[in-house]
Amino acid sequence: MLCRMTAETRIRVLPIHVANKIAAGEVVERPASVVKELVENAMDAGATQIDVAIVAGGRKRIAVSDNGSGMNRDDALLSIERQATSKIRDVDDIEHIHTLGFRGEALAAIASASRFRLTTCADAGAAGTEVSVVAGQVQDVREVGCPVGTSIEVRDLFFNIPARRKFMRAQQTELAHVRSTFLVLALANARIGMSLNVDGREVYRLAPAGALMDRLRELFGADSLAGLLPLSAPGGPVGITGFISRPGITRADREEQYVFINGRATSSPVIAYAIREAYRAVLPKDRHPSVFLFLDMEAGQVDVNVHPTKREVRFRNPGEVRDVLIAALTAALSAAGAPPGSAPEPPLTAVPGAPVAPHVQMRIEGLPPMRTFHYPRAAQPRADDAGPSFAGRVPPPGPDPDASPRGHAAPAPEHSPEANAPWAWCRVVGLIGNRYVLLETEDGLVIMDPRAAHERVLYERYLADVAQHHVPGQNLLMPDAVALRPQDAARVRKHVDLMKDMGFGISEFGGDTFVVDALPAYFSGAAPQALLIEVAAGIEAAGAHRGTGRWREEIVAQAACRAAVKTRDRLRLEEIEQLVVDLARTDMPYTCPRGRPTLIFTSLKELERKFGRE
């Protein structure tokens, strides 16, 4: 039955210019979205060189030029129409997408929300075409002289959509998103030369690279490569290549996890789960690895038509992808062996036959290895061992002249009875798993995590000095120029004044580079770059969760302590003993600043109960 059209009809067909503006909001979220769409089109056109230029974070001008196949006059005019594309012909083609773009929406959406100019040429012997569009309306079409390829200039993004323009972020924030997008696109295809120019200054000039390692070196520096493991599993339904970080090298966030499927930067819960599972046994639960993974599979096995930005994908057989990825990651981690910089032979303190933890190992110099034996062998009792009270005998505090060289007494902490000391005396007995320290106390035994304990000691000392506005500093022998990723740089830049007040000698050098010429004395042995990255990530993770008025100082202190302690994997026995004394003097000796336990205590009474001696 046909419905009658009356004056009260509430449903209307939107004008085309309104529909285009709505569509623009789905595809073009910010200047970084424009860069992504234009560069991907250039890659689809077979370009071997792509140049990107940005002014005012992309708010005023975005220009992308390539030397790809270009277009003739008719194709140039059609390219700015909605649903006009050269990449699919029929609905069945969507099941076998081999290009980065295919919907035919990007150029139309961009042109409808900016002052847009397209210059292109498909034949070196013919004239090129220039198309000028303002807010989706074609203003001029003319012949021009230009090289083969395509150049697109986008000015005044969202000038005709005040609501969208109002919600754009500050220039530095938008620029950080652009740079992050450029980095991802540069990683996606190392064989393409790329450049990024920001406000007339060249930020990146990437030559066509023959291998992913060369592109990684250009983008992240040679030092970053030392912490990466190669991964290669090219066969089977899912081919996997790339690099992953060693277990001892982690981040507080997942921002350095790049996954590409058939050359497209993507995300998927299945892949995130596989990465977590592969690293579960070798990383703390709140730390994350760096990964650069490239997955190759049949186009029909992955659906990229899930979201207008094509960022999220779905797999036809997600379980298969998950299992293959976990197996490849696990194999690469297993083949890595010891962490970088460690000696090939086992540490001197390793107990023969004892399992070696997959984490970075702790060493205590000066502590001889403890002898082991196998059941039913037993030591012969000595004459001075006879006596009825052997099971409950407790050594007195202080050094024991008859103690074996396996243990050394730590001096008792000197503080008031009201202090929170967890023991009156203790001594170091040995190592467990080459990572944890075993202590003997007057009440039983304690297993101490020296890294967590070190964090607690540094944290309380540092915050006490910050509160008194007296932070001892240590000038670096040579100022260190630290280049950060755009996101990390933006966070550090926001809190530079705070970090200066907390003892960091830091200043902006230009772009995303900072010059560090001094560090708080507590962290003088740490790498400045690691400190800045941890501090930036800590501040970002805290967000608006501010429990006290000093939340920023506490977050900076936590991150700095964590980064400083990570640099120590070799401690002398005297340092361990001093750490025991220092920990006993803290206000909260039982946990690190992040809430992890520093000590696990088992009393003599509990031991006697377990051995049936009660």
What pLDDT shows up at residue 386? 35
Highest mean pLDDT among 44-48, 78-82, 90-94, 408-412 belongs to: 44-48
Q: Look at 20-29, 114-123, 148-157 and tell me which has the smallest mean pLDDT.
A: 20-29
Residue 129 has pLDDT above 50, yes or no: yes
User: What is the DSSP annotation of 141-154?
Assistant: EEEE---SEEEEEE
What pLDDT shows up at residue 401? 37
What pLDDT shows up at residue 385? 39
How, if at all, do strands 426-432 and 408-410 pair? antiparallel
CA distance 70 to 130: 12
Q: Which residues contact 192 (CB under 8 A, 6 or more apart)?
A: 43, 47, 48, 49, 50, 186, 208
Assigned architecture for domain 227-336: 2-Layer Sandwich (3.30)
Q: Look at 174-183, 341-350, 467-476, 479-488 and tell me which has the smallest mean pLDDT.
A: 341-350
524-565 confidence digits (pLDDT tens): 777 888 778 777 777 666 554 444 446 666 777 777 676 666
Residue 326 has pLDDT above 60, yes or no: yes
* Res. 151 pLDDT band, cuts 50 70 90: very high
Average pLDDT over residues 5-16: 67
Average pLDDT over residues 18-28: 63
* Res. 252 pLDDT band, cuts 50 70 90: confident
Highest mean pLDDT among 307-321, 413-427, 507-521 belongs to: 507-521
Residue 138 has pLDDT above 90, yes or no: yes
Average pLDDT over residues 226-255: 86
What pLDDT shows up at residue 86? 57
User: What is the DSSP annotation of 389-431?
Assistant: TSTT--PPSS--TT--TT-EEEPPP---TTS--S-S-EEEEEE
What pLDDT shows up at residue 235? 75
Residue 51 has pLDDT above 60, yes or no: yes
What pLDDT shows up at residue 407? 40
Q: Look at 100-109, 410-419, 464-473, 527-536 and tell me which has the smallest mean pLDDT.
A: 410-419
Average pLDDT over residues 475-494: 84
Is there a contact between 206 and 215 (Cβ–Cβ < 8 Å)?
yes
Q: Look at 49-58, 195-204, 262-271 and tell me which has the smallest mean pLDDT.
A: 262-271
Shortest CA distance to 486 belongs to which of 528, 514, 462? 514
> How high is the mean pLDDT of the chain?
77
CA distance 475 to 484: 21
Superfamily of domain 16-207: Histidine kinase-like ATPase, C-terminal domain (3.30.565.10)
Is there a contact between 352 and 368 (Cβ–Cβ < 8 Å)?
no
Average pLDDT over residues 212-227: 86
What pLDDT shows up at residue 579? 86
Is there a contact between 564 and 424 (Cβ–Cβ < 8 Å)?
no
Average pLDDT over residues 248-271: 86
Residue 399 has pLDDT above 60, yes or no: no
What pLDDT shows up at residue 359? 42
Superfamily of domain 451-566: MutL, C-terminal domain, regulatory subdomain (3.30.1370.100)
* Res. 103 pLDDT band, cuts 50 70 90: low
What pLDDT shows up at residue 259? 92
What pLDDT shows up at residue 412? 42
Domain positions in the chain = 16-207, 227-336, 451-566
Residue 593 has pLDDT above 70, yes or no: yes
Q: Which residues contact 43 (CB under 8 A, 6 or more apart)?
A: 50, 100, 185, 188, 189, 192, 263
* Res. 362 pLDDT band, cuts 50 70 90: low
CA distance 139 to 121: 19
